[in-house]
Amino acid sequence: MTDTIKIEVVYALPTRQEVVPLTLPAGSTLQQALEASGLLAKYPEIDLAKGKFGIYSKLAKLDTLLRDRDRVEIYRPLIADPKEVRKLRAAEGKVLKKGAGATAGEE
């Protein structure tokens, strides 16, 4: 077994993606990877206390031990609540269907 692991830390922005490849000591945690990546200093909006982080699309805690070839992901807060957006779309669709039906019936 090796004494180091190779991982990458990824932060997706609206216009581009930051990917930072790292070699860390075996037994490193997700938080240590975030700190070593330099992304916390570059993007002050990333908050370790409130932020959400994951490994290959699965939420993970800061004390999660990393394995070789893990991909640590930094998630940005959602701009809109997906449930609310779906409700609004559904409501708009019902209005359109009702409106279209009434117009067809009037002719």
Cα end-to-end distance, the chain, whole Å? 78
> What's domain 4-75's superfamily in CATH?
Beta-grasp domain (3.10.20.30)
User: pTM of the predicted model, to two decimals?
Assistant: 0.72
Measured between alpha carbons, how far is 98 from 39 in angstroms, rounded to an integer?
50
The pLDDT assigned to 95 comes to: 64
The pLDDT assigned to 57 comes to: 93
The pLDDT assigned to 47 comes to: 93
Domain ranges of the chain: 4-75, 79-107
**Token digits of residue 21:** 């490849």
The pLDDT assigned to 28 comes to: 97
Sites in the chain below the pLDDT cut of 70:
1-2, 95-107
CA distances from 27 to 43, 49, 60, 64, 75 (A): 26, 22, 15, 9, 23
